[in-house]
Structure 1
Amino acid sequence: MSAAASGRRGRVLIIAGSDSGGGAGIQADIKTVTMLGGYAATAITALTAQDTLTVHAIHEVPADFVAQQIRVVLQDIGADAVKTGMLHRADIIRVVADALDAHAPDVPLVVDPVMVAKGGARLLQPEAEQALRTLLIPRAAVITPNLPEAEVLAGTRIADAAAMPDAARALLALGPRAVLLKGGHLAGDDLVDLLAAQGGASFRFENRRLHSTATHGTGCTLASA
């Protein structure tokens, strides 16, 4: 009996890249969903040769194969939520949007707009930024950008926590139902995350920075959770 037939909840389809080091990407997503009691299915958009320091190489996955992975999972297993991570190319973003339109139009979508790895490697081609902005972000239940990603998407500088509300409003203008703007790139030890929703509701989360070198994959983990 398939998961769809059994009525099991907590099915998450993750559309993202693979991290050979296991700390980020699909591997981090699967671990997170599993630890929280969900069922993780995947559509892999790119293969990376990656460790905790950097992305050494990216192996392309054909867009039609990405679409096929999404289609067969949704037709058999189904999904209660979809999460996107590293999408890499504009043609992949287009087939992801088309597949979701065809097979999961009402399933909540979490978009983690992965653009640059912590080691500096480019994970979203510049020409794909507009496709992400226009094809996926408007259909998202929530997007989870860090500050550098938010600056690219909103077209505005976010110099400090005081600038985050305006940036969140600019991101909401792109169409998602909510924005979780992550403040980990702020200077200092007092950090702010801001959750803003359509209609004006907002929640501010403040805490002290945890000093650690174990930060690889934190964005993937949060978005999957």
Structure 2
Amino acid sequence: MDSTTDLQRLYRNRFSDLERRRKDEIWHVLCTYFFQRYVKPSDTVLDIASGMGEFSRHIAAARIYAVDINPDAGKFLPVGAKFSLTPAHRLDFLSENSIDVAFTSNFLEHLPTKAAVDAVLKEVQRVLRPRGLFVALQPNIRYAYKEYWDFYDHHTPLSHLSCAEAFELSGLQVVELIDRFLPFSTKSALPTHPILVRGYLACRFAWRFFGKQFLIIGQK
């Protein structure tokens, strides 16, 4: 894609209004019953590639910063969140050791090269406070090698193991790594009713069958 306009058009076309509402319901459950365990109410959070703002809207934190290169992203954020239209490797508006928890979902695969991935990880490491966490949810090329390429803006395939190496090289110690966590996409035929999503989170056995995204948590 050659322009911001292309990026806006791609994401406006990718998800229907119904799919956006369904995603929002899913993320409410994910944040409430899973991701909130990593975020204290007093924390300062950075939402990287915030997209449609589902994480920021449903996580409880004292302060939320969000970055994206899509101008549309800012309008999806909750009141009080601070949005910056900037790439994730240029977090110049944040000082060193200022973020308790950084989060991203389905972002690193959109970067053009592994060098670009390294640049993002090093910048995240810079802004995290000592013992701060970087929580990342990513499609796992090991288990999603077919459907991975069904999205035009996917460029850099990563497995849970290659991503763990990248984290360690950037100075982030991997403290948790789940190779199979969530299904590949909300566009799948799997049921997405909030009660069923909550049940899925509680049944780790099911992750081994349906999980095609990995969860990695690095600590500074």
TM-score bracket, normalised by the shorter chain, equals 0.3 to 0.5
TM-score (norm 1): 0.42
